[in-house]
């Protein structure tokens, strides 16, 4: 193999990478150490701002294989032909901690899937839980602040978490999941994934269907207690996934969806767009549509996993959003976060770049025309605006055939709506009653451990919520307090 010269970032050969230029062997450095300056300046900028949430992540590539055509419900290209394979990138993550936090925190796990379809990237950005703590995004910054470290001491503050939950009964369902045995997964291979949000599909007749995505692990659900988690290495879940793929033990998930018509949504007794509630399977059974397998690790963690950019606004023809308030906010916030963290041209990075031609009039910005992409987003000369008078000369034009049908909102009045009369207790109680005695014991011990650090008012309100869910639920926690 021929020798390869080390170069500067501009391509010039480097003669010495061990010694800076100095005034004699014991003298100071000189100002013409431009290669030294290049290395130090780049080193100072090696990190982009970490995600405020989902900072600690692990990703891998694989594919989704369709086993049931959804042509009745959607024109989405990748959902038409049984046996069709679509490349995917899946990023798992914890939520609250930073990049160097433990993989074994009691925390939801992010489950974000990027489908590289022939008509663009479709992102399903969810968690390992079917619900969330909130259904109104105006409270999201406050919620995250309450779950992070105390702003004065920089220490964990369980009392603050329960203070927030005591003021937001909509969090009860997700809190019950978090504090249960499923709050600490054994590994990323042993978690389910959910879109959590209600999304939509639309067909060639202009009919829209509401849909929830479910990714059911084929490895089975496995979890840890607090005591078991404390004995695990902090990067254990990441290592487990990398090692399993390297061994050829490719983890997989059975992909299922729930479907609801627009007419059903208008009369269903549960708000189908409330992120704190599930659709009961007895009313809307799971429909199996395929298999998702992970079979290739990343080659560069920073370039791929850290700079991967998922957004629920990444939709393709045949797919859409919904009136879910949290989803509506995320469709704005996620793209904005990526522009801040990675840059306005983040979709030109290979991990984010679509596997299909990209034609638009967006120009300039940092890393414009990035040569590391898939060769499909180079910014060319000529017209950088639309409309123009160059039809048929290689300039892109909108195609009305892909127009999304209107989203019908019956009897809607623009206003602010409080949630004082909403039922945020029944589904949490249903979940509690499904648990075994051991699961109930773990759940209530985990709640009592944090709630014991809150004041009497917070404890009283939380016990009131638990009693509405199930009297036994409240009694078990109260006895431990």
pLDDT tens digits for 299-313? 999 999 999 999 999
Q: Is 54 a catalytic residue?
A: yes
Mean pLDDT, residues 441-461 taken together: 97
Residue 411, pLDDT above cutoff 80: no
Q: Is 145 a catalytic residue?
A: no
Mean pLDDT, residues 204-217 taken together: 97
Q: Using one digit for the tens of pLDDT, what is the confidence trace for 95-109?
A: 999 998 999 999 999
Confidence category of residue 380, pLDDT binned at 50, 70, 90: low
Per-residue pLDDT, 370: 56
Q: Using one digit for the tens of pLDDT, what is the confidence trace for 146-176?
A: 999 999 999 999 999 999 999 999 999 999 9
Cβ contact 319:74 at 8 Å: yes
Query: Is residue 220 packed enough to be buried (19+ CB in 10 Å), middle (13-18) or exposed (0-12)?
Result: exposed
Cβ contact 191:128 at 8 Å: yes
> What tokens were used for 208?
């829209």
Residue 477, pLDDT above cutoff 50: yes
Residue 14, pLDDT above cutoff 70: yes
Question: Quick one: which of 132, 73, 130, 92 has its CA closest to 330?
Answer: 132
When computed from its CA atoms, the radius of gyration of the chain, rounded to whole angstroms, is 25
CA angle 114, 117, 120 (to 5 degrees): 85
Cβ contact 189:219 at 8 Å: yes
Q: Using one digit for the tens of pLDDT, what is the confidence trace for 413-444?
A: 878 888 888 999 999 999 999 999 999 999 99
Cβ contact 287:257 at 8 Å: yes
Specify the DSSP element, H or E, that contains 440.
helix 437-451
Catalogue all structural domains in the chain, each as residue range(s) with its CATH number. Answer: 1-46 (4.10.91.20), 57-133+184-354 (2.40.180.10), 136-167+425-481 (1.20.1370.60)
Can you list the positions of beta strands (E) in 226-278?
252-261
The catalytically annotated residue of 121, 127, 128, 135 is 127
Residue partners of 156: CB distance under 8 A and separation at least 6: 149, 150
Is the pTM for the entire model greater than 0.75? Answer: yes
> What tokens were used for 88?
């995917």
Query: Coil, helix or strand for 206?
Result: coil
Q: What are phi and psi of 182, to 5 degrees?
A: -85, 5
The catalytically annotated residue of 54, 168, 214, 338 is 54
Per-residue pLDDT, 373: 45
Residue partners of 196: CB distance under 8 A and separation at least 6: 126, 127, 129, 130, 131, 132, 212, 275
Interatomic CA distance for residues 65 and 343, integer angstroms: 32
Mean pLDDT, residues 25-42 taken together: 90
């Amino acid at each position: 193999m021929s020798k390869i010269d080390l170069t500067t970032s501009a391509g010039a050969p480097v003669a010495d990478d061990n010694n800076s230029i100095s005034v004699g062997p014991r003298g100071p450095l000189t100002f013409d150490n431009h290669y030294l300056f290049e290395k130090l300046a780049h080193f100072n900028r090696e990190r982009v701002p970490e995600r405020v949430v989902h900072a600690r992540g692990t990703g891998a590539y694989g594919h989704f294989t369709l086993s049931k055509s959804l042509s009745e419900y959607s024109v989405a290209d990748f959902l038409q032909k049984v046996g069709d394979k679509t490349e995917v990138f899946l990023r798992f993550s914890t939520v609250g901690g930073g990049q160097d936090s433990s993989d074994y925190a009691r925390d939801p796990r992010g489950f974000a899937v990027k489908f590289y379809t022939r008509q663009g990237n479709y992102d399903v950005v969810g968690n390992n839980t079917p619900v969330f703590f909130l259904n109104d995004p105006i409270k999201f910054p406050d919620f995250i602040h309450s779950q992070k470290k105390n702003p004065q001491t920089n220490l964990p503050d369980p009392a603050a978490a329960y203070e927030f939950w005591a003021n937001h009964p909509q969090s009860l369902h997700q809190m019950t999941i978090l504090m249960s045995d499923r709050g600490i997964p054994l590994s990323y291979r042993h978690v389910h994934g959910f879109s959590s949000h209600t999304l939509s599909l639309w067909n060639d007749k202009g009919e829209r269907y509401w849909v929830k995505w479910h990714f059911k692990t084929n490895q089975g659900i496995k979890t840890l207690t607090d005591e078991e988690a404390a004995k695990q290495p902090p990067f254990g879940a990441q290592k487990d996934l990398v090692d399993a793929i390297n061994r050829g033990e490719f983890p997989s998930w059975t992909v299922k969806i729930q479907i609801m018509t627009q007419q059903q949504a208008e009369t269903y007794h549960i708000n189908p767009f409330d992120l704190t509630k599930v659709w009961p399977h007895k009313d809307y059974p799971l429909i199996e549509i395929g298999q998702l397998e992970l079979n290739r690790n990343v080659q560069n963690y920073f370039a791929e996993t850290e700079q991967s950019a998922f957004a629920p606004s990444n939709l393709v023809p045949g797919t859409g959003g919904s009136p879910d308030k949290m989803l509506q906010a995320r469709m704005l916030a996620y793209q904005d976060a990526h522009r801040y963290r990675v840059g306005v041209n983040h979709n030109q990075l290979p991990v984010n770049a679509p596997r299909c031609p990209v034609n638009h009039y967006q120009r300039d910005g940092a890393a414009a025309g990035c040569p590391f992409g898939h060769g499909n987003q180079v910014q060319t000369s000529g017209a950088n605006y639309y409309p123009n008078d160059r039809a048929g000369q290689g300039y892109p034009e909108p195609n009305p055939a892909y127009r999304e049908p209107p989203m019908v909102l019956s009897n809607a009045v623009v206003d602010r709506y409080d949630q004082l009369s909403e039922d945020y207790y029944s589904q949490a109680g249903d979940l509690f009653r499904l648990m075994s005695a051991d699961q109930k014991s773990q759940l209530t011990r985990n709640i009592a451990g944090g709630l014991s650090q809150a004041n009497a008012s917070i404890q009283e309100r939380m016990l009131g919520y638990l009693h509405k869910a199930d009297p036994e639920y409240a009694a078990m926690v109260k006895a431990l307090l």
